[in-house]
Amino acid sequence: MKEDVFYGKGMVHVKKDYPDIYEAVVKLNEAAFTGKALDYKTQKLIALAITASNSDDRAMKKQMMSAIREFGATKDEIVDVLRVVLLTAGNPPFVKAMKILYELEE
Amino acid sequence: MKEDVFYGKGMVHVKKDYPDIYEAVVKLNEAAFTGKALDYKTQKLIALAITASNSDDRAMKKQMMSAIREFGATKDEIVDVLRVVLLTAGNPPFVKAMKILYELEE
Amino acid sequence: MKEDVFYGKGMVHVKKDYPDIYEAVVKLNEAAFTGKALDYKTQKLIALAITASNSDDRAMKKQMMSAIREFGATKDEIVDVLRVVLLTAGNPPFVKAMKILYELEE
Amino acid sequence: MKEDVFYGKGMVHVKKDYPDIYEAVVKLNEAAFTGKALDYKTQKLIALAITASNSDDRAMKKQMMSAIREFGATKDEIVDVLRVVLLTAGNPPFVKAMKILYELEE
Amino acid sequence: MKEDVFYGKGMVHVKKDYPDIYEAVVKLNEAAFTGKALDYKTQKLIALAITASNSDDRAMKKQMMSAIREFGATKDEIVDVLRVVLLTAGNPPFVKAMKILYELEE
Amino acid sequence: MKEDVFYGKGMVHVKKDYPDIYEAVVKLNEAAFTGKALDYKTQKLIALAITASNSDDRAMKKQMMSAIREFGATKDEIVDVLRVVLLTAGNPPFVKAMKILYELEE
């Protein structure tokens, strides 16, 4: 189940052409999100925070959609993530992320 | 209470010499950490994630100490944050953050 | 007056849905651009330099348009900013910024 | 005159061992700081802004010292640069830069 | 020959309007790629690695096309570069780069 | 053999306390450096390029030492990597990396 959440279309090719990389990425995802103390949803919000702070449009959009659809993250929860992005990464990534969030909402 | 958590020694000077900046930073911190849906501790862990993903030694150390001392964050909770850093920001910031965490533990 | 310069369409939603964030951003902008020693236009050019050095397409385009339209920045002034981007951030962000500048000029 | 400002001790070795790189860096510095419209000091402050926004301790310290000693930049001018860093790159690089500035002042 | 490889359309304008910058960029490219010990193709793959690790879509696409068309880089060679990107810069830039590589292949 | 090259002291703790993360990192390293087309040393130089372009002092020093000691990388080979860093990431990370290289040489 986890697998179809994380790996976009690009990874279908990787799985077929470079199975050793694919297995490493699966293992890495499992190690990343099988936390001992934080729940899965919180960890996904952390992944969103990191990609948003890098101003990476596509990656943050993908993380937002995943957080909303797979983990039922609410708009207020995502905005609470982006509040921290504003403080620690500045206004440009915050504005970009809010724009993407409102576009997803529509 | 919040105030003495966030603002290091540098901010003492800012408060005295540049009160308009100080007030803006206070306001920004309040807006950042007065989330509607996520609790304060989770938001602090998100701030740690962002600074750790930037490989910023001092900032991540400060965030870790604050998370542990002010919010009672456990080692496993911080490692769960760093698992996501490993996935989304790569091995160098992860290794650096683990090193700092173990140094703090000693 | 300042307000309609900085805050794009995304901020209209923020103002309505998250007034505390909006107020913090306004305060932050005021503290940022109410410099004591540098004029407003110079500070805007500095904001352009930072967003350009991060290779952030949209943010740098927005800053360029704002610099040109609101502050009458000339092409040579913007290129002088980008010269420093070339030195301190490398050729890829410089080339990207020059491309955007020439597109805006047309 | 410019040359001894920009090139730290490391570049002495480069000049001797890799003269082609040295010449390229000199040329690059000349192209960067021989602006048509902005003066030299403003361009140096822009270089400071970019290195500060990257949270690069040593580089921003070097730029601050150069701005102060070679161009007579005042504390308020540097703080005006850092105001923009706070807005566009977030609180951690701002706090770090202010700390370095106050240490230089002492 | 080198010249038409590196400098995109934007640089045509730069050559005409800002010849001093153009000359500095040419000099910089020559110093960068006239390595003593590594061959030209390896250095181009290194340039690809750096732009890919920054998640810079356009710059990495341009570097990939250049590596493939001018230097005959194979898909496996580029994937070997991206393996290192996965390790040192994380999953998001890796996935983005693989997507671009497969799109170029089609 | 590979294992003692990549994993610093911090990883000793990780192996003991968080074996699932350790295994994922081992797997990731194997997938990263078991390239099909590029040799191991070239891939290590690429890892050096990425960490150097991020101005990450410790990570680039570690990569340089590993490249020199484990793979017999020469000074000229490392400088050829740093030439590309100068072009694609700017002068500050280049100067920092050259400084570290000359310190290692002594």
CA–CA separation, A100 and A93 (whole Å): 11
Q: How far apart are the first and last CA of chain B?
A: 27
pLDDT at D62 over 80: yes
Amino acid at E65: M
% of chain D exceeding 70 in pLDDT: 92
CA–CA separation, F68 and E85 (whole Å): 21
In our burial notation (b when 16+ CB lie closer than 10 A, e otherwise), range E27-59 reads bbbbbbbebeebeeebbbbbbbbbbbbbbbbbb
- pLDDT classification of B5: cutoffs 50, 70, 90: very low
∠ CA C55-C58-C60, nearest 5°, is: 60
A10–E99 CB contact, under 8 Å: yes
The DSSP output letter for D1 is -
- Per-residue pLDDT tens digits for E35-66: 789 999 999 999 999 999 999 899 999 999 99
CA–CA separation, B42 and B49 (whole Å): 11
* pLDDT value of position C10: 75
Query: Taking the CA atoms of chain A, what radius of gyration do you get in angstroms?
Result: 14
- pLDDT classification of A1: cutoffs 50, 70, 90: very low
Please enumerate in sequence order all residues whose Cβ is within 8 A of that of F20, keeping only pairs 6 or more positions apart, or say none.
A30, A31, A34
When CB atoms are compared, the residue of E18, E24, E56 closest to C79 is: E18
Q: Mutate which of C28, C29, C34, C54 to disrupt the B interface (most B C-beta within 10 Å)?
A: C28
The whole-number average pLDDT for the span A28-53 is 95
When CB atoms are compared, the residue of A23, A24, A34 closest to F20 is: A34
Count of CA atoms in the C-beta half-sphere (13 A) of B18: 26
B79–F18 CB contact, under 8 Å: yes
Q: How far is B78 from chain E (nearest CA, A)?
A: 19
Length of chain F, please? 106
Three-state SS at F1: coil
A88–D91 CB contact, under 8 Å: yes
In chain E, which residues have their Cβ closer than 8 Å to the Cβ of C96? 56, 58-59
CA–CA separation, D38 and D77 (whole Å): 16
F88–C87 CB contact, under 8 Å: no
Chain F residue with minimal CA distance to B84? Answer: F21
The whole-number average pLDDT for the span F79-90 is 98
* Structure token pair of residue C24: 């913090």
- Contact (CB, 8 A) for B71 and B30: no
Q: What is the ipTM of this complex?
A: 0.92
List the single range of D49-58, E4-13, F47-56 with lowest mean pLDDT.
Answer: E4-13
* pLDDT value of position A11: 86
- Per-residue pLDDT tens digits for B11-41: 889 999 999 999 999 999 999 999 789 999 9
The DSSP output letter for B32 is H
- Contact (CB, 8 A) for B84 and A43: yes
- Contact (CB, 8 A) for E53 and C90: no
In chain A, which residues have their Cβ closer than 8 Å to the Cβ of E99? 8-10
Please enumerate in sequence order all residues whose Cβ is within 8 A of that of B3, keeping only pairs 6 or more positions apart, or say none.
B26
Residues of B in CB contact (< 8 Å) with A are: 28-29, 31-33, 35-38, 42-43, 45-47, 49-51, 53-54, 74, 76-77, 79-81, 83-89
* pLDDT value of position F77: 97
pLDDT at F9 over 90: no
Whether pTM exceeds 0.90: yes
- pLDDT classification of C35: cutoffs 50, 70, 90: confident
Neighbours of chain F (3+ CB pairs under 8 A): A, B, C, D, E
Closest CA to E30 of E43, E17, E20: E43
CA–CA separation, D83 and D52 (whole Å): 11
- Contact (CB, 8 A) for F44 and F67: yes
CA–CA separation, E54 and B89 (whole Å): 11
